[in-house]
Amino acid sequence: MLSKEMSEACQPVAEARLQTRSHYVDFTPGSSLTWGTVANAGDTKISLIGEDRSFSEIDICVFETLVKEGRIIGNGASEPHSEIARMLASASEHDLKTANDHFDLVRRHLDDKPSTSELGVPERTLRFWTAQYRQAKEKYGCGFVGLLPHTSRRGNRTPRLPEESRKLLSEFIAHDYETPKQKPKFASWAMLKSACDQRGVVAPSYVTFCLAVEHRPKLERIVKRQGRRAAYAYEPFCWELTATTPRHGDRPFEIGHIDHTELDVEIVCSQTSRISGRPWMTLLTDAFSRRVLSVYLTFDEPSYRSCMMILRECVKRHARLPQIVIVDGGPEFESTYFETLLARYECTKKTRPPAKARFGSVVERLFRVANTQFIYNLRGNTQITRNVRQVTRSVDPKEQAAWTLEGLHQRLCGYLFEVYDTIDHPALGQTPREAFCSRMTSLFWVISSVSSQRNTGFTTREQPQKLIVRA
């Protein structure tokens, strides 16, 4: 998908192609055209030699008309277009944004002739940009590419160290510095300098060594020097849960995902038996074990009440809250009441990038599994409404509806906490319940041993989030 800068950059390029197509025909002597080879180009006529060695002359005015109509095309006409495409493709997002800003100022200068004070740039700078624009327009037929700053080409980027020195530098970083010994940078550099002196090659400076270390992948460097546990904080954050998302988090209740979905089933009123509509389901899922911590059903669309109720249900079932809560950019998660509740119990809220859909589910797999394994086996499910033209009264979900909200909630809890909880998860290699219980058991023994030795309560990094006694 094109970025905003690339989209804005393509607009003047497309306009230039339409307006300056004739500039791409080269009619210097020896140039090859679709009508033949140019033998001579005078002030009033152009001489052409055909494939059968026939000779013909065309007036300049007629020649220009044929070119504008596209009847005469140069064999090299596509070269400027390919060059423009190459320059745009190699430009960075920052280069495109800069060129867009300069193009807007140059176009205003050429069209309206405003003063430099109104444009907000020095007069000399504006003349320089205008000259670049005109030169590119003459050469490529598109002045926009002349405003690209080409920042990446600046400076001398040729390596100054010999190939053998650079090879030794990489070897010492990988096999001497990035080791469990955790040697200081200066000690590894001293070993590198000694090795270079023995081989008679130029030794990298200490600054060069430090820069090379910093350019190495930080996660890989910390794993090799300090281990996986120390590198966990530098791993990329998992914003969504799918069937292939690896387990993330050190323990249960460290990271939880909250999201909503509208269930594909029609519900009837428990008192009047009339159709009440489709309910909304809110889930709180544990990222480590993929276990459903709590579920909440309501007819109301997602709001701060749904968010607070799902946390209340979690407290009722487990007497605690997750340490980190991952949510999307919905307004219900920006509620003052919801954020106050999280702040009160020291829970950290992380919001997924705003480019995600409004109700794009981060627990999409669980929603899909719940639909296919549970909802689609109930009377009144709305699968058939995907093809509305095929729906008749006899199979209309509203005519088949039989579940009340209370009854659906009881059966849904039974499915999530007794059925789904005991099915092997492809990303875990075990059931969510087994992953949850095994880790909680190991945490219990770690905390118990530390508490018995120090008698100071929870002192490890794996201490659980603050318990909540009352719902």
Lowest-confidence region among 93-102, 307-316, 340-349, 355-364: 355-364
What span, in angstroms and rounded, lies between the C-alpha atoms of 75 and 82? 13
The tokens for 70 are 């596209």
* Mean pLDDT for all residues in the chain: 76
pLDDT of residue 155: 77
> If pLDDT is split at 50, 70 and 90, which confidence band does 23 have?
very low
The tokens for 171 are 């070897």
468 pLDDT more than 50 = no
What span, in angstroms and rounded, lies between the C-alpha atoms of 395 and 384? 8
At 133-148, the pLDDT tens digits run: 888 887 777 788 888 8
Lowest-confidence region among 190-199, 296-305, 434-443: 434-443
pLDDT of residue 466: 43
> If pLDDT is split at 50, 70 and 90, which confidence band does 399 have?
confident
What span, in angstroms and rounded, lies between the C-alpha atoms of 14 and 432? 55
pTM score: 0.45
The answer for residues whose C-beta is within 8 angstroms of residue 381's C-beta and 6 or more apart is 264, 265, 266, 375, 397
At 99-113, the pLDDT tens digits run: 888 887 888 888 777
pLDDT of residue 294: 92
Query: Domains of the chain, with CATH numbers?
Result: 4-150 (no CATH), 163-232 (1.10.10.60), 255-438 (3.30.420.10)
78-100 mean pLDDT? 75
What span, in angstroms and rounded, lies between the C-alpha atoms of 104 and 200? 56
pLDDT of residue 298: 92
pLDDT of residue 398: 78
At 45-82, the pLDDT tens digits run: 888 787 777 778 887 777 777 777 767 776 554 455 66
Whether residue 377 contacts residue 270, with contact meaning beta carbons closer than 8 Å, is answered with: no
Which amino acid, one-letter code, is at 253? Answer: F
Longest Cα–Cα distance in the chain: 106
pLDDT of residue 22: 41
Which amino acid, one-letter code, is at 121? Answer: V
